[in-house]
Homo-oligomer: A and B are copies of this chain.
């Protein structure tokens, strides 16, 4: 028995290109969360001259970039050097306990960025691969990002036909635990991604389905159907899931932020209300999104005041439009009409160092000047997933009460 298992192991390991790893000894363990809360990163590279680790678990540093004749400052993740030890295994242990959260990190080996080959948890964010480090801790928000022995919802990749696009398009749909065995109807939250993202982004980088499972199990959120859309109307699906061959994702897609997605959105609602047991009315419908998705959220909310009762704008790109789409016309009049419809919640979240911070402040000033109510959460940091996960965990419990 043991012999056969070992043979199976060897055969599979060889066929999986892993012989190199096998013959260089056991794989270095990385990352390791130590008892004292520090984290150790390891990378094997016997011939390297310099190995660094960089990621959002490190304090950010400022980087100045000149652009359009103007100097702009961005927060970029810090970096630390690893030290070479036995067998060419480089190592770095943080000089601090890493705060409970979810982080992305990569190594830089002689200047070139690589993921951690011994950590199978890899996320794609647009066209960058990063290794993932989750430091969960009971009593902390990051506990919501971890998987617990609680009832799990079903996560499905579902295709609908878009008349406006002229082809089938892909959605990620979360149905809460109990949906399939109950006859109840459920409220629906639509969740939108940012530029370069897709219907996968919120469930990989966003940990949205874990957050939903946990919030619902705790009784802190209502059971709800959650639909993660693809906001790039010219795409069938995430880059790996398209029929026109595999193409690496890019930031700029045709037909993004020019009104077609918002115009076509009722198709999606119609499909979801037809396919699932939804409460198909404004009182039980919410929408939220990050960055470009926050922008979509705003225009969906004011263009369809009869459709959404709850709206969440996370680091939203609330900026003036030069598109000719009717979606972006008559902003002030639409905003007034939206508030006349007495929506239950307009929720705004933004980081203090977000490059869209001022744009969000300006937007809120407009709301204030008109006496329009909203809820605002301000966080540290900028235009990053850490903030979007925070906003999601804050927004979801407020829905459908």
Where the two chains meet, the residues of A that have a C-beta atom closer than 8 Å to any C-beta of B are 1, 3-21, 24, 27, 44-49, 54-56, 63, 65, 67-68, 72, 74-77, 104-106, 108-115, 117-122, 124-130, 134, 136, 146-149, 151-152, 154-159, 167-168, 170, 177, 180, 194-196, 236, 239-243, 245-246, 248-249, 251-252, 256-257, 275, 291-292, 317, 319, 321-323, 354-355, 382-385
Complex Cα distance, B14 from A385, in Å, reads 12
Which residues of the other chain, B, contact A18 by a CB distance below 8 angstroms?
113, 127-128
Contact of A15 among B122, B275, B382 (CB under 8 A): B382
How distant is A58 from chain B, measured CB to nearest CB, in Å? 11
Are A12's CB and B46's CB within 8 A? no
Closest partner residue, chain B, to A322 (CB atom): B1
Are B384's CB and A15's CB within 8 A? yes
Are A21's CB and B149's CB within 8 A? no
Are A292's CB and B251's CB within 8 A? no
Are A157's CB and B159's CB within 8 A? no
Which residues of the other chain, B, contact A121 by a CB distance below 8 angstroms?
240, 246
How distant is A244 from chain B, measured CB to nearest CB, in Å? 9
User: Taking A5-B251, A322-B1 as contacts, is the C-beta distance between A12 and B54 under 8 angstroms?
Assistant: no
User: Taking A17-B105, A105-B17 as contacts, is the C-beta distance between A8 and B246 under 8 angstroms?
Assistant: no
User: Taking A5-B257, A112-B44, A156-B154 as contacts, is the C-beta distance between A196 and B12 under 8 angstroms?
Assistant: yes
Which residues of the other chain, B, contact A9 by a CB distance below 8 angstroms?
195-196, 251-252
Q: 12 A-B residue contacts at CB 8 Å? A: A8-B317, A10-B65, A10-B67, A12-B126, A13-B126, A16-B125, A17-B113, A44-B112, A47-B49, A47-B110, A47-B111, A149-B168
Closest partner residue, chain B, to A43 (CB atom): B112
Which residues of the other chain, B, contact A136 by a CB distance below 8 angstroms?
245
Are A117's CB and B118's CB within 8 A? no
Complex Cα distance, B275 from A307, in Å, reads 32
Are B243's CB and A8's CB within 8 A? no
User: Taking A47-B110, A111-B47, A251-B5 as contacts, is the C-beta distance between A76 and B12 under 8 angstroms?
Assistant: no
| A-B pairs, 6 with minimum CB distance | A47-B110, A156-B156, A9-B251, A152-B159, A11-B383, A18-B128
Complex Cα distance, B170 from A355, in Å, reads 41
Complex Cα distance, B2 from A256, in Å, reads 11
Which residues of the other chain, B, contact A167 by a CB distance below 8 angstroms?
149
Are A156's CB and B155's CB within 8 A? yes
Are B110's CB and A45's CB within 8 A? yes
Complex Cα distance, B3 from A13, in Å, reads 49
How distant is A375 from chain B, measured CB to nearest CB, in Å? 24
Closest partner residue, chain B, to A149 (CB atom): B243
Which residues of the other chain, B, contact A20 by a CB distance below 8 angstroms?
54, 108, 111-113
Which interface residue of A15, A21, A159, A252 has the most chain B CB atoms within 10 A?
A: A15
Complex Cα distance, B10 from A75, in Å, reads 11
